[in-house]
Structure 1
Amino acid sequence: MEPLFRARVRAGDEDSFRVLFREHGRAVYNHCFRLTGDWSVAEDCVSLVFLEAWRMRERVEPHGGSLLPWLLGIATHVVHHRWRTARRHRALMERMPPPDLLPDFADEVVGRLEDQKRIAAVRTALDQLSRPDREVLALCVWAGLDYVATAEALGVPVGTVRSRLSRARRRLEKLAQKNLDQDTEPAAAGRQQTGDRHEAVRPSGENGRGPW
């Protein structure tokens, strides 16, 4: 990054912010999407991130490298604020009378592909992680920041980043496997209960071969 770029950002130069968006807008969007799991919410967050960056432009350090860690730090706080707002909204909705029950379409998705099951299990596991664990995974693993840049983005020591990342990886793997097992066992049990015992063990397909 050229030496004067940070100074121009601090001064509120519009061309510099356009360059900032062009170079890092996609990375900011990806980070927001990984934290929220919703592309439309991620798009809204990106707009808020760059508005916040403009508002906080005078906090940019005069010297340094890429401003991506700074932007991802802002993005992390924006998503967290939105999550707190959504949590308060859910709490309000839970106090309202429940709507009429909708039909259960679980049987229609029993045959989904194994990779889809794993994606769903990981997505659920991510939601079960603590906010600090989700944030460090999003920055280190998906955004590709090193420990130092992640520490800068989160405003914590490098050692904290290392310990959080190690803990988050172990917990994510454990929760994803648990969710996958919970998703698989009831489906298998449900299929075994339909039909008689002969049908449950009879091979499918012509001449006793499988369907594939």
Structure 2
Amino acid sequence: MDERSLLTLLQKRPNEGMKELMRQYMGYCYYIVRNKLAEFPQEDIEECVSDVFVDAYRYREKIDLEKGGFRVFLATLARRRAADCYRKKAENLPLHEEIQESPKEVSFEDREVLLQAIRSLGEPDEKILIWKFYYGYPTKTIASALGLKENTVDQKVRRGLEKLRKALEGGGFYEGCI
């Protein structure tokens, strides 16, 4: 079914139009959401995709075939919905937890060296780097949790990474020198 016919069906018989829209574009929306939420559980991805089609139903009058049609409209909804889902999950992560596991490609020794180097930075730099790069918290969330300004957190991240780079390039952590 072409886009003009699909749009007419959506406007005249919304339930049938939505079924056809989902049949044609479910895989496309799923692909976009899955790429944005790759580390999320399957049910979260599926829920996000279904929310895309709820939004499509809600905003079906705003579809403009001259501005890219259904593909552009649904891709925009999918990206926005995935970003919302990602932000909600990031906000609900407990900020006080310690690192419990490491990425699989990093050796145990390297992980210990890196963790020792991060811990040598002291508070709040240690906490900021762990929250930022291990848990993926946005700067705004970290700043709020620590009672700092966002630009202060960004500055501490830059300086902390520079200190880590210098310390690890020197090799002192590998030899047990702190």
- Scaled by the length of structure 1, what TM-score is found? 0.43
- Scaled by the length of structure 2, what TM-score is found? 0.50
Q: Which has the higher contact order (CA 8 A, sep 6+)?
A: 1
